[in-house]
Structure 1
Amino acid sequence: MAEGALRARIEAAGLQHRIVVDSCGTGDWHVGGPPDPRAVHTAAGHGVDIAGLCARVLEDADYTRFDALLCADDSTRRIVRARRPADATAEIDRLMAWAGLGEGDVPDPYTGDAEDFEAVWHRVDRAAVAIVDRLRASRASDRA
């Protein structure tokens, strides 16, 4: 859902030609599979289609392909940092912290109900709005 929310906010801001967004997991449990149907339903309720996304696992190349690797929670961040190859250039942080919201982890709604998915959507969408603001500010300072 975070990828969908961020993509939607980036597109709405007209930044989609500058910014690449992708998501992955640290385990291969769902590789090749679609998002959880409850996540698809929640995102669709907010006008965002994530049905076509396909699960993949974090690759060494991601550490240099992307400027930032944003993790949903501290546990994932620790795993991502531990796997960091020697030539890594990407910043590694928690999504909410990198967004400037400093509000801890994004909980995994998998074992919850529709309300849990909705709560997570609102959390990641708030982060997406804040990230777009951060990227706009960075872009403005690049031009100054």
Structure 2
Amino acid sequence: MATPSVLLVCTANLCRSPMAETVLKALLIAMGPAAPLDPNRVESAGTRAAPRPQTVDARAAAALQRSGLKADRKFRSRRVVPEDFERFDLVLAMDLENLDDLRRLCPQHLQSRVKLLLDYAPGLAGHEIPDPYFSPVVAFDRVLGLLGQGLQGLIDSQTRAAEAQSAA
């Protein structure tokens, strides 16, 4: 059975979601064959991304670099489209505003796919990953830390689900 596909969503697809995509792919690649998700089935998008694709925000790329990761130079922002709810098994919002936008866009029968990323982080369910775009550079590092917690929780959750499925 194919591993679940994941779409990580923020507002403009310039900071949080491309950072999340980069971190999640790196974590999964480091896990190798034991990874519960396929890094090739991880993407990001924005609920309000500009019509013309843009590159990752330079401050987000710098925060990734400080943590030992590199933003994908080929990355271009994109807007969430209705087909995403069919294509992706999990559509994970960075904050409540994006969660609400996604729930409005998502067909009723696929609503269970739409969740808040930090709901996967122990002790952070219901919390948001703040948008660092209009904040000082240090906010990007804080966001990176929160992303790491949510994404590790997601990996742990998917690992448990895969183990339960194989035991059944």
TM-score, length-scaled by structure 2: 0.77
Which has the larger share of strand?
2
Are 1:107 and 2:130 matched, yes or no? yes
Identity over aligned pairs, percent:
24
The secondary structure found in structure 1 opposite 2:60 is helix
State the partner residue of 2:56: 35
Give the Cα–Cα distance (whole angstroms) in 2 for the partners of residues 29 and 112 of structure 1.
20
Residue correspondence of structure 1 range 50-129 to structure 2 within 5 A: 50-52=71-73, 53-85=75-107, 88=110, 91-100=113-122, 101-102=124-125, 104-129=127-152
The aligned amino acid for 2:98 is T
**2:60–2:140 CA contact under 8 A, matched in 1:** yes
Q: Identify, as 1 or 2, the structure richer in helix.
A: 2
Query: 1 CA distance for matches of 2:76 and 2:53?
Result: 5
Select the residue among 19, 29, 47 that pairs with 1:26: 47
Contact 2:28-2:37 at 8 Å conserved across structures = no
**Greater CA deviation, 72-81 or 125-134?**
125-134
CA distance in 2, matches of 1:40, 1:82: 30
Q: CA deviation at 1:50?
A: 1.4
Which residue type is aligned with residue 28 of structure 2?
Answer: I
> What residue ranges of structure 2 are gaps of 5+ in the alignment?
1-18
1:122–1:26 Cα change, 3 Å: same
Code of the residue aligned with 1:48 in structure 2: it is L
